[in-house]
């Protein structure tokens, strides 16, 4: 066997706080061969990103330290290299692309300047050759009409295009290794597929090695040659892609592979009582121009949507980012203004003002996407859950307390956490708290806006199971908004596929997945499975 | 602020503040000086703290006693510095004096040099040009400056936060109109207004406070407004709205705590600003009424009597000390509230 291109030996990473030292990575070893793809898989907090960042020594030193280990790249120990040598390696021999393409590009530099910076640093090209090289790179990563896009700023590009620019930057110096840290997580599924395909093409063409960091086993299956599974800073299993995915030995790997939410929606209850019904619902944001702020046009976020949700059932709303699905949810909850009829139970609610809406709020609750943002960091769990009860229920503090504790048990949390604060909990626990906050009011409808997308796969599965149990027990109607088809499939009775504010297709869950009619729906399903 | 004790974020902030040694010592020294000065009457006064006369206890600091109570002739308040009164009292008892036997307005008639007289054992920092003890005036002046600044800062913060909160939370037209009104109001020349007003009103402590308040509340508006503009779009604020909370409640419980961080960080600097303003007005002669113990007036005297450097030096040292302590406290508070720590 030849010498591997990159060899990580017994690498450890520790972070030193004032008080204590936390070991983030505990003695991992792996090899990366030239021209191959190695996937580093694990859930958030498993230390996979930290391991990758230490290859370029990009961690916040001196808080971070390496108690042990060697990183050998082309026969040279990177950990022992000085800053000058490191700068030559970074972006030169080893390129990196990050998860969030919006924040990894400088918003004040246009595309040409972003890429030319790399070329000037590492390739010492003459200025007249730089532009030609940039065009070549942009063409290679599949940006249409690269000559016209040279002067574009990051905000003028879509998420997928930004990630392509990031890749072009990383490839500019023709690196031997490309480190891709969750390169597709922030992108829509159809674009994810394109970016992965691009990476594979480029790898073949340029013969570089890719170190792919991801939590998504679907991606691993498609692109990786070998896999390392990380769990709590340790390497629990490694091997070729087929071997790991076909016959995982370690229990954690098995758990990961089985983590995809599965199963079907709860059996349809035998009532046909309508819960919420929307007719020709529109949310148009005016675009105002000029001194007089005249409305010249509208952004049609939601443009004429009809649906009906019956009691105790789930309506899944699927679409990519910008399709208007979150706006639709906010409109139904009457948190933003909309036009068109919304009937809740028997009562039209679209004409109610905020004050008259208030008594109805206890029946319509929301759970938001980001469990870190939706809980006030200054309030204890008890205060957070009690807040709605205090307004809507006539009970005294002791009775409310009992109800809070009962609800916490129902969402699978220990009631004695009441006096702790949100930052002490993990994402999944926080999302349970957010569900408890909604559930404690005994609502008839819960609008779930991407409640699982910020969570790890295995936690997603638990939350989906929890939501199903609660639905069966209390006959709550769910409006489930998500871009993730596997989660939607596991929970919904009926699905609406949205694109650009309009309904593309709506049908029963089974029909959507077995016989999708619209090409867009077909593309979504193809990209997801 | 019931959550201040239990909230772990605040615990961490207090720990951060304590770790800043310069800040915590500044705070301790400042509190010591300030609390000491609150009892200025017990430290520097022309009346004794305690008199034992004819087996009666008397507290002249708190109660006015006529001279006749000690066997004198006049029905007016006793002048305890008068050798005749001293003799009367010592005959049948004794007096306990404060450490400095002058109040801010006591004129020392027993100077051996013409006023302003240099520091001596009787007047540790000398006297000013009206033969009043500089140390006593500095102590009272410190108190009045800090109290003025404190009341002004608190009142203007309350107004500023309320206005900023309403503008930021509701946004749109309310914000637009509010901002324009503030721009016009902030453009008024405060100093000229004070000069004009002081020509037909005799300025007093509260009058001055009121006028300063009219123009001082705008400092915090922009800060709080920005916090509320950001805060109203936070997801947990949206979640609170989905729960059916009323607007004032959302503002008070969910957004205000965020805005309080920047406000508290700013407070020491508002405080120093208010002290400087008051001193400047006193220096120019448009400040507190004539005869009040004010640091600005002492600075003015120092300027008028360059041959008596103890006037200017005393005023400078006190002002510099006070402002430096407050700035150090402010810095420590700002660092303690810094979320990146």
- Cβ distance B236 to A373 less than 8 Å, yes or no, reads yes
A393 has a chain B CB within 8 A of its CB: no
Please give the mean pLDDT across all residues of chain B: 86
In A, minimum Cα distance to B11 occurs at: A378
B253 has a chain A CB within 8 A of its CB: yes
Torsion of CA A120, A124, A128, A130, to 10 degrees: -50
Evaluate if residue B1 carries a pLDDT over 70.
Answer: no
Q: Å from B243 to nearest chain A CA?
A: 5
What is residue B337's predicted lDDT score, i.e. its pLDDT?
Answer: 77
- Cβ distance B235 to A373 less than 8 Å, yes or no, reads yes
Are the CB atoms for A512 and A497 separated by under 8 Å?
A: yes
Evaluate if residue B313 carries a pLDDT over 80.
Answer: yes
Q: What is this structure's pTM?
A: 0.75
Neighbours of A191 (CB within 10 A): 20
- Cβ distance A378 to B246 less than 8 Å, yes or no, reads no
Contacts of A421 in chain B (CB under 8 A): 7-9
Best mutation site among B9, B242, B250, B260 for testing chain A: the one with the most A CBs within 10 Å? Answer: B242
Locate A280 and state its tokens.
């020709």
pLDDT in tens, B59-97: 888 888 888 888 777 888 888 888 888 888 888 888 888
Instruction: Tell me the H-state helices in chain B.
Output: 8-19, 21-38, 40-43, 83-92, 134-170, 172-186, 190-200, 205-216, 221-231, 235-243, 247-250, 256-284, 295-304, 309-337
**Given B3, B236, B257, which is nearest A375 (Cβ)?**
B236
Query: Digits of tens for pLDDT over chain A (529 positions)?
Result: 467 888 988 988 888 877 778 888 888 898 988 888 999 988 877 888 888 888 888 888 878 888 888 888 888 888 888 888 888 888 788 888 887 777 778 888 888 888 888 888 887 777 778 888 889 888 888 888 888 888 888 888 877 888 888 888 888 888 889 998 888 877 777 778 888 888 888 888 888 899 999 888 878 888 889 999 988 888 888 888 888 888 888 888 888 777 777 777 778 777 778 888 889 988 888 877 777 777 778 888 888 889 889 888 999 999 887 788 888 998 998 888 888 889 988 888 888 888 888 888 889 999 988 888 888 888 888 889 998 888 888 888 889 989 999 999 988 888 888 888 888 888 888 899 999 999 999 999 999 988 888 787 778 888 898 999 999 888 899 999 988 888 888 889 999 999 888 898 988 888 888 888 888 888 888 877 6
**Given B3, B9, B238, which is nearest A335 (Cβ)?**
B238
What is residue B181's predicted lDDT score, i.e. its pLDDT?
Answer: 94
A362 has a chain B CB within 8 A of its CB: yes
Q: Å from A53 to nearest chain B CA?
A: 21
Q: Å from A377 to nearest chain B CA?
A: 9
Are the CB atoms for A386 and A404 separated by under 8 Å?
A: yes
A366 has a chain B CB within 8 A of its CB: yes
Higher pLDDT, A128 or B246: B246
Supply the angle between the helices B221-231 and B134-170 in degrees, to the nearest 10.
30
Please state whether the peptide bond connecting residue B116 to the residue before it is cis, i.e. omega within 30 degrees of 0: yes
A388 has a chain B CB within 8 A of its CB: yes
Q: Å from B80 to nearest chain A CA?
A: 58
CB proximity under 8 Å: B 72-131 to A: none
- Cβ distance B245 to A387 less than 8 Å, yes or no, reads yes
Contacts of A445 in chain B (CB under 8 A): none
Size of interface A-B (CB pairs under 8 A): 64
What is residue B340's predicted lDDT score, i.e. its pLDDT?
Answer: 58
A376 has a chain B CB within 8 A of its CB: yes
**Given A357, A373, A421, which is nearest B234 (Cβ)?**
A373
């Amino acid at each position: 066997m030849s010498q591997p291109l990159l060899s990580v030996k017994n690498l450890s990473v520790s972070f030193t706080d004032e008080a204590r030292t936390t070991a983030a990575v505990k003695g991992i070893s792996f090899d990366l061969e030239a021209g191959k793809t190695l996937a580093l898989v694990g859930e958030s907090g498993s230390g996979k990103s930290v391991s990758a960042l230490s290859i370029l020594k990009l961690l916040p030193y001196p808080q971070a330290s390496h108690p042990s280990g060697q990183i050998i790249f082309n026969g040279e120990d990177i950990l022992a290299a000085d800053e000058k040598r490191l700068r030559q390696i970074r972006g030169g021999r080893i390129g990196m692309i990050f998860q969030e393409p919006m924040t990894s590009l400088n918003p004040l530099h246009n595309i040409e300047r972003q890429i030319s910076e790399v070329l000037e640093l590492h390739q010492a090209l003459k200025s007249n050759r730089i532009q030609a090289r940039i065009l070549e790179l942009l063409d290679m990563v599949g940006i249409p009409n690269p000559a016209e896009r040279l002067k574009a700023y990051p905000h003028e590009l879509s998420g997928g295009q930004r990630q392509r620019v990031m890749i072009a930057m990383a490839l500019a110096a023709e690196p031997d290794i490309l480190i891709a840290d969750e390169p597709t997580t922030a992108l829509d599924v159809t674009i994810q597929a394109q970016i992965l395909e691009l990476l594979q093409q480029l790898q073949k063409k340029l013969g570089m090695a890719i170190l792919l960091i991801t939590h998504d086993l679907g991606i691993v299956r498609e692109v990786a040659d070998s896999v390392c599974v990380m769990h709590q800073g340790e390497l629990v299993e490694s091997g070729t892609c087929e071997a790991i995915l076909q016959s995982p030995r370690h229990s954690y790997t098995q758990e990961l592979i089985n983590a995809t939410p599965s199963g079907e929606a709860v059996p349809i209850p035998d009532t046909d009582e309508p819960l919420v019904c929307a007719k020709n619902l529109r949310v148009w944001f005016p675009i105002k121009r000029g001194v007089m702020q005249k409305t010249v046009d509208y952004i049609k976020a939601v443009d004429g949507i009809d649906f009906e949700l019956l009691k105790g059932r789930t309506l899944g709303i699927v679409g990519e980012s910008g399709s208007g699905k979150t706006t639709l949810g906010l409109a139904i909850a009457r948190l933003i203004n909309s036009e068109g009829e919304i009937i809740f139970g028997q009562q039209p609610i679209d004409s109610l003002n905020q004050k008259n809406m208030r008594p109805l709020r206890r029946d319509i609750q929301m759970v938001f996407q980001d469990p870190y943002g939706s809980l006030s960091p200054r309030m204890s769990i008890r205060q957070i859950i009690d807040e709605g009860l205090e307004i809507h229920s006539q009970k005294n503090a002791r009775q409310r307390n009992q109800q809070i504790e009962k609800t916490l048990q129902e969402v699978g949390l220990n009631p004695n956490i009441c006096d702790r604060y949100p930052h002490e909990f993990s994402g999944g626990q926080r999302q349970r708290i957010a569900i408890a906050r909604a559930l404690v009011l005994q609502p008839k409808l819960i609008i779930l806006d991407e409640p699982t997308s910020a969570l790890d796969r295995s936690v997603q599965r638990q939350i989906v199971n929890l939501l199903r149990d609660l639905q069966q027990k209390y006959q709550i109607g769910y409006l489930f908004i998500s871009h993730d088809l596997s989660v939607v499939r596991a929970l919904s009775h009926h699905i609406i596929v949205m694109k650009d504010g309009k309904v593309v297709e709506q049908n029963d869950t089974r029909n959507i997945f077995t016989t999708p009619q619209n090409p867009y729906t077909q593309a979504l399903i193809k990209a997801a499975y | 602020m019931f959550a201040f004790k239990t909230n772990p974020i605040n615990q961490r902030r207090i720990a951060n503040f304590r770790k800043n040694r310069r800040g915590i010592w500044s705070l301790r020294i400042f509190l010591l000086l300030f609390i000491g000065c609150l009892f200025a009457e017990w430290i520097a006064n022309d009346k004794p703290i305690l008199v034992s006369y004819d087996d009666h206890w008397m507290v002249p600091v708190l109660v006015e006693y006529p001279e006749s109570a000690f066997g004198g002739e006049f029905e007016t308040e006793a002048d305890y510095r008068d050798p005749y009164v001293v003799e009367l009292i010592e005959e049948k008892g004794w007096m306990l004096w404060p450490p400095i036997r002058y109040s801010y307005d006591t004129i020392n008639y027993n100077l051996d040099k013409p006023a302003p007289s240099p520091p001596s054992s009787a007047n540790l920092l000398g006297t000013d040009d009206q033969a009043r003890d500089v140390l006593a005036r500095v102590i009272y002046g410190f108190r009045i400056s800090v109290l003025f600044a404190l009341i002004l800062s608190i009142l203007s913060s309350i107004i500023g936060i309320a206005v900023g909160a309403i503008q930021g939370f509701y946004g749109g037209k309310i914000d637009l109109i509010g901002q324009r009104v503030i721009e016009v109001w902030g453009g008024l020349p405060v100093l000229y207004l004070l000069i004009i007003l002081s020509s037909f009103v005799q300025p007093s402590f509260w009058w001055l406070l009121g006028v300063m308040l009219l123009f001082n509340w705008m400092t915090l508006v922009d800060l709080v407004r920005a916090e509320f503009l950001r805060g109203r779009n936070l997801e947990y604020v949206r979640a609170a709205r989905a729960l059916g909370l009323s607007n004032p409640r959302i503002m008070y419980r969910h957004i205000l705590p965020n805005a309080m961080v920047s406000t508290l960080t700013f407070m020491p600097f508002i405080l120093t600003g208010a002290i400087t303003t008051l001193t400047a007005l006193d220096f120019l002669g448009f400040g507190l009424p004539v005869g009040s113990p004010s640091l600005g007036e002492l600075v003015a005297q120092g300027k008028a009597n360059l041959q008596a450097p103890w006037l200017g030096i005393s005023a400078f040292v006190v002002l510099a000390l006070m402002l430096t302590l407050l700035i150090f406290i402010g810095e420590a508070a700002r660092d303690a509230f810094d979320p990146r720590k």
